[in-house]
Amino acid sequence: MWGAVRVLRARMTVSHLRPWRVGRARKPLGRTRKHGSAPFPFLPGQCSLHPMQRWPLTLTVLMTFVLGACSSDDVPPPPLPGSSASVGRGAQLAGGLAACGFCHSLQGKPGAPLSGGRTMSDMFGEVVGPNITVSPAGIGTWSESDVRTLMRANKRPDETYLYSWFHKGNEWMSDADLTALIAFLRSLPPVENVVERRDISWIERNTTGFFTAAAEVKGYVPQISSRFRLQYGEYLTNSVAGCDRCHATPGGTFGSSEYLAGGAEIVFDGETKIAPNITQSKGAGIGNWSEGDLTRYLRTGVTPAGREVDKRFCPVEFYQRATPEEIDSVVAYLRSVPVVEEPQS
């Protein structure tokens, strides 16, 4: 008797799971074990569910897979804005590859107050690096969103625009790194140093600077995992250090710029130098440099030939403070840059 009850219960279970099937009774799926034990209604792979019962299970499996794939140790969660970890990362960036003090301090050296005052030149003429401390003379009245907009869109709170060359590439800095950099800047003591701001006329902006506008970056910019050495090196080279800012060949009105091929005039404190080619060209660039040569240069500013770079024009003193992982990634990426034999004139 109990065996018959168990079989009936099994049939009811199968029927309950398949409510859309009507008509003659069907034999239960699976097999019944001997000695009157309860039947196992489904064999593995034979479970048949109604589509309305199947989709929640499918969604659960997919979400589990996606969340499992995203929860990787390669990219740690970004530190909370304003936390000590966030400020520390910002200090590492500002004093390292981002080299904020190279333009925003009078001395152009790591550790100097970011109160502005250094003179440089660009296509519009002479300009003085502004104060970016949190004083009224600097960015003390700016919100975090204001600073972020300046970096992403080169736009100040008063709706005027900054020449995009100065932060070229920084618009693609990851949200995590940009948040950390802002947290660091807002942690600095205020320095009252008023720097006169240069105003570019509408005529200049739409003649000399007609082709210089940079697109605004909207939305979330993710962090690139350092596990992907070349991609992380490309990110650091272009979006943090901004090497292309000085080392790209000027394109002119109708010509195209050559990436890292050199040839641009760089002017600091009234002196001018020509930025070199840093592609893998063996004749014009650094193609003959080994990985060790390039690492040593970024750490010391000394070339394989023993020549010391002029640190007023290249921020190697900042690069010396970058982490070994960052330097290794930048070196790996620079050694992958395609050859450009001669700067484009």
- 323 vs 184: CA distance, rounded Å: 18
Quote the pLDDT of residue 335.
96
Quote the pLDDT of residue 268.
87
Q: DSSP string covering 230-277, please?
A: HHHHHHIIIIIS-THHHHSPP-TTTSPPPTT----EEEETTEEEEPPP
Percentages helix, strand, coil for the chain (3-state, rounded to 5) are 35, 5, 55
Q: Which residues of the chain have pLDDT under 70?
A: 1-82, 200-215, 251-256, 342-345
Tokens (6 digits) for 236: 């650091």
**For 236-249, how does the pLDDT look when each residue is reduced to its tens digit (9 = 90+)?**
999 999 999 899 98
Q: What is the DSSP letter of 39?
A: P
Quote the pLDDT of residue 214.
57
Quote the pLDDT of residue 32.
43
Quick one: angle between helices 291-300 and 324-334, nearest 10?
Answer: 130
Tokens (6 digits) for 268: 């600091």
Quote the pLDDT of residue 154.
86
Quote the pLDDT of residue 151.
92
Q: What is the DSSP letter of 335?
A: T
Quote the pLDDT of residue 123.
74
User: Where do the DSSP E strands lie in 66-214?
Assistant: 119-122, 125-128
Q: End-to-end CA distance of the chain, in Å? A: 98
Q: What is the pTM of this model?
A: 0.73
Sheet (strand 119-122) strand order: 125-128, 119-122, 265-268, 271-274
- CB 30 within 8 Å of CB 42: yes
- 294 vs 108: CA distance, rounded Å: 23
Q: What is the DSSP letter of 167?
A: G
